[in-house]
């Protein structure tokens, strides 16, 4: 029986690369992102390269909460069963606190946290109805310690991680798996403007790691595991003056 995955934020970065990787592995793939023409083009390229059993592309802005619920339901109907929902859509606008940039912070929270929560809530509703499924969420190493000029991004990713931990507990013994991913620096448009990206890996490598973690149905993992699994706890205890220089 074919397996299927819905990916939000599939028009670029991690979402796009994971779509290619999962299609290569034989999954039916649903691509969603705000701009229809981009997911249409990606879908056609994936179809030509890998001939997945099914592929669908759909315009979806995760801040349109009713649209999120409709999309998850309709894509589930299209595939007959939806096995994985990857809540991946995210932005990073790099606002500074107290510099009249609060609109950037508000938008970041709406997309990265509330939009992801809507995606997960819709997925859980579908999974409860069909008897099981797997939710995957993209958090970040920035969830482990708030970074300057990334305050709302760090908060959104920390909030999503905790939300998913709560969802896992709520879904105990309901045949629903929940995976929280903590990517480090993966080469995507989201972080290409940063002056420093330590331990950077190509997006294709990141997608290959993520696809393996999804198939293993892990509870949580850093991407890549080395060095972030070791460095993550250290971030929490670094002196504030060091964090302020990042």
Share of the chain above pLDDT 90, in %: 82
Residues in the chain: 246
Average pLDDT estimate for 173-177? 97
pLDDT value, residue 243:
66
CATH number at 160 reads: 3.40.50.720
pLDDT value, residue 121:
98
* Separation between Cα atoms, residue 126 and residue 7, nearest integer Å: 15
Dihedral angle, C-alpha 177, 85, 70, 57, nearest 10 ° = -160
pLDDT value, residue 204:
97
pLDDT value, residue 244:
62
Average pLDDT estimate for 45-55? 97
How many domains, the chain? 1
203-232 tens-digit pLDDT: 999 999 999 999 999 999 999 999 989 987
The edge-to-edge listing of strands for the beta sheet with 55-59 is 55-59, 28-33, 4-7, 84-87, 133-138, 176-183, 220-223
Confidence class for position 242, pLDDT limits 50, 70, 90: low
pLDDT value, residue 233:
80
Lowest mean pLDDT among 5-9, 115-119, 149-153, 242-246: 242-246
pLDDT value, residue 165:
98
Confidence class for position 235, pLDDT limits 50, 70, 90: confident
Average pLDDT estimate for 23-28? 98
Which residues are catalytically annotated?
A: 153
Please give the residue range of the domain that contains residue 93: 4-244
pLDDT value, residue 9:
98
Residue 149 or residue 104, greater confidence: 104
Confidence class for position 245, pLDDT limits 50, 70, 90: low
Let me know: does 90 contact 111? Beta carbons within 8 Å.
yes
Residue 245 or residue 131, greater confidence: 131
Confidence class for position 132, pLDDT limits 50, 70, 90: very high
Question: Mean pLDDT for the chain?
Answer: 94
pLDDT value, residue 232:
79
The pTM assigned to this predicted structure is 0.94
67-86 tens-digit pLDDT: 999 999 999 999 999 999 99
């Amino acid at each position: 029986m074919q397996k299927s995955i819905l990916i939000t934020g599939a028009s670029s970065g991690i979402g796009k690369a994971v779509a290619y990787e999962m299609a290569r592995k034989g999954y039916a793939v649903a691509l969603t992102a705000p701009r229809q023409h981009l997911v249409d083009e990606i879908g056609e390229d994936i179809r030509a390269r890998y001939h997945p059993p099914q592929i669908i592309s759909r315009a979806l802005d995760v801040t349109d909460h009713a649209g999120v619920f409709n999309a998850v339901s309709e894509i589930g109907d299209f595939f007959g069963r939806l096995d994985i929902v990857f809540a991946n859509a995210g932005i990073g606008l790099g606002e500074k606190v107290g510099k009249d940039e609060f609109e950037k912070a508000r938008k970041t929270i709406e997309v990265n946290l509330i939009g992801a929560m809507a995606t997960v809530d819709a997925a859980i509703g579908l999974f409860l109805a069909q008897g099981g499924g797997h939710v995957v969420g993209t958090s970040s190493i920035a969830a482990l310690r708030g970074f300057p000029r990334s305050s709302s991004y760090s908060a959104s990713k920390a909030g999503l991680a905790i939300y998913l931990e709560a969802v896992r507990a709520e879904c105990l013994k309901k045949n629903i798996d929940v995976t929280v991913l903590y990517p480090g620096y993966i080469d995507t448009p989201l972080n290409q403007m940063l002056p420093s990206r330590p331990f950077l890996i190509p997006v294709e490598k990141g997608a290959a790691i993520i696809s393996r973690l999804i198939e293993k149905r892990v509870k949580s993992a850093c991407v890549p595991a080395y060095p972030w699994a070791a460095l993550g706890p250290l971030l929490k205890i670094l002196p504030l003056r060091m964090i302020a220089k990042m």
